[in-house]
Structure 1
Amino acid sequence: MSGSCGCCLNGVLFIFGGCDDNGQTNELYSVDLTDGTFTWKKIIHVSGAPPSPRDKLSCWVYDGKIIYFGGYGHKVLSDLDSRSRNFIVDETSWAGEVFWGWNNEVHVFDPKDLSWSQPQTFGRAPAPRAAHASASIGSKGYICGGRVMETRTSDIHCLDLETYTWTELVPSSTAPVGRSWHSLSPVSDSRLFLFGGLSMECNPMSDGWVFDTGSRKWTEVEHPFKNKPRLWHTACPGRDSDVIVFGGSCDYILLVDTGHCNDALVFQMQPYPLSRICEDYIARTVQGCDSLRTQVPLLPAKLQSAVYTRMCFYRPSKKHQ
């Protein structure tokens, strides 16, 4: 599968949609990450109607539910409403009574009763899109950019996850260039970090930006990974407001498919506390100091566990051993 949408809720990983050799799907799977068996289960819903088959969508987790937005996929003619602005037909892709295109629909899955619903939304919804990025802060879900027909955008919209009301956050400063296949991560109660993506000119990018949801201001961020462009990668918040980027590609994958990446990029978004600085120093130093290594077991249990975790991160790779 490619272009699936994943999220974690109460220790369970949920994977929805995506595309395989037969096209897009609307199947939902889960795997419990806490029971030690890591057994996949196909989820059969009890009520409601699932979204139509799609990929390159996004989701938020809120109040015990998973809220899905957008994506690219197909619908049959009988499901299309000429008056609706929720689905834009891709005029280059259709077959008989099956039409492909972009959507801006909001669907909600409740794992407790295995139900799907499609709530009514208010306000001006974003244009239908796919390959956008999303993140949530509290009861607000944000989306940024993505592909809208033949255009890649950098607009940012907020969905109130309690009232399902959309608001476009018009920037008060210069915004990043339009892009798709990028990532968006929360780094504080009011800031979002954007990294990478594919530009309108189909160039893989490595720029990083912070968006302040209060002032609606974009600020470009200096970082050490300017030589590591990424698109279609994953990103998540780490300890101390770090952002961890993993995988993806450094090529325009529709033309060249040799640039898959498996390294992790760690972005420091604010000064580290003294405890983190000490843990990092010990973890780096202990690799070449046997006398210091023997003292790690003497540390208090909580600090010892943190140091061992950091030691795994700084452990030299085999090619350097």
Structure 2
Amino acid sequence: MELRGDLGEIPPKRTGHVAVAFNRAMIVWGGYQDNSDSNPMQMEVERYLPATDIWIYHTDIDQWRKLTTRGDVPPGTSGASAVQINHKMYVACGHCDGIGNTNKVYRLDLETLKWESITTDIGPSPRDKCSIWEYRDEIYLFGGFGYDPVDYLNEDGEYTKDLVGAEWGSYRGWNNQLHVFDPGTRKWRNPRCKGPKPLPRAAVGASRCGNKAYIFGGRHIDERLNDLHILNLDTLTWSGIMASTGSVPEGRSWHTFTAVSDTHIFLYGGFTTQRDPKSDGWLLDTRTLLWTQLNVPLTNPRLWHTMVRTSEDDILIYGGCCNNILDHTQKMVHSFNVLVYRFSPRSLLRMCLECAFTNRKQLKKDWENLPKSLTGILTHKLEAIELNKASGS
């Protein structure tokens, strides 16, 4: 299935959005941007991005398309969590425009572009900045920052109240709960986990390799952590703080932590305890727990961005904030470019397509002899190049 829309548009800059991989594309939804340009007397004006819009970045043509969704569309949201199962994108929790924290789950069918709300029973307390992953077609949600879970599903886990925030009327805090959502029954559960749990935290990095989930960092009260925890998803047993060999990344929150193979997880960016935005990259070997700092190309630091791994093993990093997001005396600087990393060679098919396109003066007349799907990729890429020339970009 191919997601089609008008080529040539560029998505609005954003932070706190969600992204999932769908085949060779990245799908982006939600988030907010600093709108202080329209109100220069107020340095921080948050504007949620239109919730009806999704943006598709096609790696075949290096181009964006905007599509309009319908149905039970969620409100504008930041700090939500998203995962893709089959041809559906699930969006859970977050901080909603005019509502505050939510615990609702929405599902977007990527074939019909129709949303539906699928939460029907009691679930986790409303929260944002959770980590999320999928295992055996169920959705796992860990941690987050939100309301006291006393009146919600709270069989297991701890809650730490934000005492500083309470002084100015914010009654929220951090938790270390694990919640599991079954899309088939539309029910949540909060299973009792064994082993020493991570501290309550939010804006944590999490990724699944096989039957284990790996948790790194996140904010707990005033500290941004650099500890590593492993959860066996078959036994629901936490391993405790895992000792790593060699160098270890600096503590951080609002980073991305994404599996790039069956045995390696890529850490990028984030925000330190000293409120320093980062642009460094690290690779964790899950077999040895060895961290390796990568020589990534110099770029703007970013935090509260997204990272996805496509079916062709492209690692796409998009969006986020480039400066101190908590300094309300300065305008927020958003990142808008897409960073592309690879940890494995391109497929033979992809290299052949790139060769056919690079040498299109000699080979374009033969494109029509290719399978229709491949001809479409080459034609769309040529359309994108021509649009960029016409727009002067």
Written as runs of structure 1 = structure 2, the 5 A alignment for 1:51-62 is 51-62=124-135
Quick one: structure 1 residues 42 and 300, their matched pair in 2 at CA, closer, same or farther if it must change by over 3 Å?
Answer: closer
- Quote the residue 2:79 is aligned against: 3
- Which consecutive residues of structure 1, in runs of 5 or more, have no partner in the other structure? none
When the two chains are superposed, the root-mean-square deviation of aligned CA atoms in Å is 2.8
- Quote the residue 1:173 is aligned against: 246
Q: Is the 8 A contact 1:123 1:166 kept in 2?
A: yes
- Greater relative CO (CA pairs within 8 A, separation 6+): 2
Deviation for aligned residue 1:213 = 0.6
- Quote the residue 1:27 is aligned against: 104
Alpha-carbon distance in 1 for matches of 2:313, 2:165: 42
Q: Is the 8 A contact 1:284 1:311 kept in 2?
A: no
- Same amino acid, percent of matched pairs: 34
- Quote the residue 2:193 is aligned against: 121
Deviation for aligned residue 1:272 = 3.3
Q: Is the 8 A contact 1:279 1:310 kept in 2?
A: no
Corresponding residue to 1:280 among 350, 354, 360: 354
- Quote the residue 2:265 is aligned against: 192
Quick one: structure 1 residues 134 and 76, their matched pair in 2 at CA, closer, same or farther if it must change by over 3 Å?
Answer: closer
Deviation for aligned residue 1:170 = 1.8
Q: Partner amino acid for 2:365?
A: T
Aligned: 1:271 with 2:342? no
Alpha-carbon distance in 2 for matches of 1:309, 1:160: 43
Quick one: structure 1 residues 201 and 306, their matched pair in 2 at CA, closer, same or farther if it must change by over 3 Å?
Answer: same
**TM-score, normalization: structure 2?**
0.72
Aligned: 1:234 with 2:315? no
Alpha-carbon distance in 1 for matches of 2:386, 2:273: 39
- Quote the residue 1:296 is aligned against: 367
CA distances 1:164-213 after superposition (whole Å, capped 9, x unpaired): 11113321111111111111111111100111111222122111110001
Alpha-carbon distance in 2 for matches of 1:308, 1:44: 42
Q: Is the 8 A contact 1:223 1:267 kept in 2?
A: no
Alpha-carbon distance in 2 for matches of 1:80, 1:41: 22
Written as runs of structure 1 = structure 2, the 5 A alignment for 1:72-83 is 72-75=145-148
Q: Secondary structure of the equivalent of 1:94?
A: helix
Q: Secondary structure of the equivalent of 1:26?
A: strand
Corresponding residue to 1:134 among 191, 199, 206: 206
Q: Secondary structure of the equivalent of 2:196?
A: coil
Aligned: 1:44 with 2:119? yes
Q: Partner amino acid for 1:268?
A: R
- Quote the residue 1:208 is aligned against: 281
Q: Secondary structure of the equivalent of 1:93?
A: helix
Quick one: structure 1 residues 244 and 61, their matched pair in 2 at CA, closer, same or farther if it must change by over 3 Å?
Answer: same
Q: Is the 8 A contact 2:270 2:279 kept in 1?
A: yes
Quick one: structure 1 residues 110 and 90, their matched pair in 2 at CA, closer, same or farther if it must change by over 3 Å?
Answer: same
Q: Is the 8 A contact 2:148 2:159 kept in 1?
A: no
CA distances 1:137-156 after superposition (whole Å, capped 9, x unpaired): 12111121111111111222
Q: Is the 8 A contact 1:129 1:147 kept in 2?
A: yes
CA distances 1:68-126 after superposition (whole Å, capped 9, x unpaired): 10000011777799xx8611111112389984110000011111111111111011111
Quick one: structure 1 residues 235 and 159, their matched pair in 2 at CA, closer, same or farther if it must change by over 3 Å?
Answer: same
Q: Is the 8 A contact 1:77 1:97 kept in 2?
A: no
Q: Is the 8 A contact 1:248 1:260 kept in 2?
A: yes
Q: Is the 8 A contact 1:76 1:98 kept in 2?
A: no
Alpha-carbon distance in 2 for matches of 1:208, 1:293: 39
Q: Is the 8 A contact 2:319 2:336 kept in 1?
A: yes
- Which consecutive residues of structure 2, in runs of 5 or more, have no partner in the other structure? 1-76
Alpha-carbon distance in 2 for matches of 1:19, 1:89: 18
Q: Secondary structure of the equivalent of 2:351?
A: helix
Q: Secondary structure of the equivalent of 1:295?
A: helix
- Quote the residue 1:17 is aligned against: 93
Alpha-carbon distance in 2 for matches of 1:311, 1:207: 34
Q: Is the 8 A contact 2:124 2:149 kept in 1?
A: no
Alpha-carbon distance in 1 for matches of 2:380, 2:210: 29
Deviation for aligned residue 1:257 = 4.4
